[in-house]
Amino acid sequence: MSGKGAILTGYRLLTGLLEPAAAGLLVWRRRRGKEDPTRLAERRGYPGVRRPDRPLVWLHGASVGETVTLLPLVARLQKRGLTVLVTSGTVTSAKLLAARLPAGVIHQYLPLDVPRYMRRFLDYWQPSLGLICESEIWPNLLIEVRKREVPLVLVNARMSERSFARWYKAPKTSRFLLSCFESCLAQSQGDAERLAQLGAPRVSVAGNLKFDVPAPPADADTLAILDGLTTGRPVWVAASTHPGEEEQVIAAHLGMKPYLPNLLTIIAPRHPQRGVEIEALAEANGIALARRAAGQLPERWAELYIADTVNELGLFYRLSQVAYLGGSLVPMIGGHNPIEPAKLGCALLHGPFVHNNAEIFAAFDQGGGAREVADAQALAGAVHRWLSDPASARQAARAAAQTSGELGGALGRTIQALEPLLMRIALGQRDGAA
């Protein structure tokens, strides 16, 4: 651990001393619905299930977007006969994984980045290989993995310009932490260059795994019911929205209403527990609404449908001609993944704040499948144009689907890059059996 510098030494000491406060933080988060009360011990490193007595590959994604990205990789690893553990850090991601992980794959919550919690987690699960998705760089996690000489790979790795600028100010810290990875498989050439400049070893470009993720599923019976209720209506969805965006979506809806009297606007908040909050906002604007978590359906009288449930975006993308991707009309978030609606026949809209997925949005914009809007007025205008001209919307949707298809292939390149490490595990299994 030599060379890790004063910043990391201080971080290690502070997080160790604040362990009692971390336990209190978990209780506070549980009361706010941000932790699963039945699985709180996992966040302190205690196992929730028994570990199989076989070599284990561990994959980690922070939340919904990252864990969904890992699904094709999980399936490939399981097909090779490997035991697979997936960790994440949010209740929403755990619910989604419960529905979408293949049978036999284990899910656990990742512990908070406290030294003793991480030691407890790693000592129990003893992974033969760790795959960390995108940009989850937790110092105690990396240091404890390094101590155990477990090979660790940063897959679908990204380093935005904003993150690069922050890490660049602490060169010794960034170099040490990135040196904990055996290799980094970057999403793009720009990500690769920034990671290499910060000191990451053996950086290569594998492409973006998100393009290889299957379209999100939808229950056929539910889809038939909702399709019947919305047939003949112009329908659009504002997906993965955040505070400050729903106001703009509602303003856009009100602006279009005189011209599209049968308009149905669907809002699917990034955090479903905000459904009641959005309901109050809509009611204050005199909008007739139905809310999915309350068991309601988008009957003909409803102008707005709040889709405040988990793992149903595939359903609402299939119902919609146009999809606005949230987290992009407000700063800080950086825009959510547009690939899923592109695969399901939606023309795409997004705001100007897409720094977390800048290259993906640029590809869709250039291909004609997506357009940028600056505010509620521009959003209303763009949605209205496409809903009033279905042929134009279909053309944009086809362009989005074509872009998505052209940018696939990262899964194969990632597996190829991991092959030496996977062979090492396979040889260890064989030697153990002998």
How far apart CA 207 and CA 199 sit, in angstroms, is 20
- Helix, strand, coil percentages, rounded to 5, for the chain: 50, 15, 35
Are 105 and 67 in contact, with CB atoms under 8 Å apart?
Answer: no
Strand, coil or helix: 100 = helix
Structure tokens at 313: 């975006």
3 state SS of 375: coil
Measured distance CA(276)–CA(67) in Å, rounded? 26
Catalytic residue among 66, 134, 136, 312: 66
| β 129-133/56-60 pair status | parallel
Strand partners, 371: 349
For residue 55, the tally of other CB atoms under 10 A from its CB is: 18
Distance (Å, whole) CA 427 – CA 431: 6
66 is catalytic: yes
Q: Which two tokens stand for residue 2?
A: 């030599």
Distance, CA of 200 to CA of 196 (rounded, Å): 5
From residue 161, alpha-carbon distances to 180, 191, 357 in Å are: 22, 9, 11
HSE-up (13 A, CA, CB side) for residue 198: 29
Phi, psi of 73 (to 5 degrees): -70, -40
Which amino acid makes up residue 13? L
What distance in Å separates the CA atoms of residue 364 and residue 370, rounded to the nearest whole number? Answer: 5
Best CA proximity match to 233, nearest among 265, 206, 201: 265
List strand residue ranges (DSSP E) for 261-331, in order: 264-269, 289-291, 304-306, 322-325
The closest alpha carbon to 239, from 321, 341, 333, belongs to 341
Tokens of 63: 């939340």
For 232, left (φ over 0), alpha (ψ -120 to 50), or beta? left
| Cα–Cα distance for residue pair 201/4, rounded to 1 Å | 16
Q: Which residues are catalytic?
A: 66
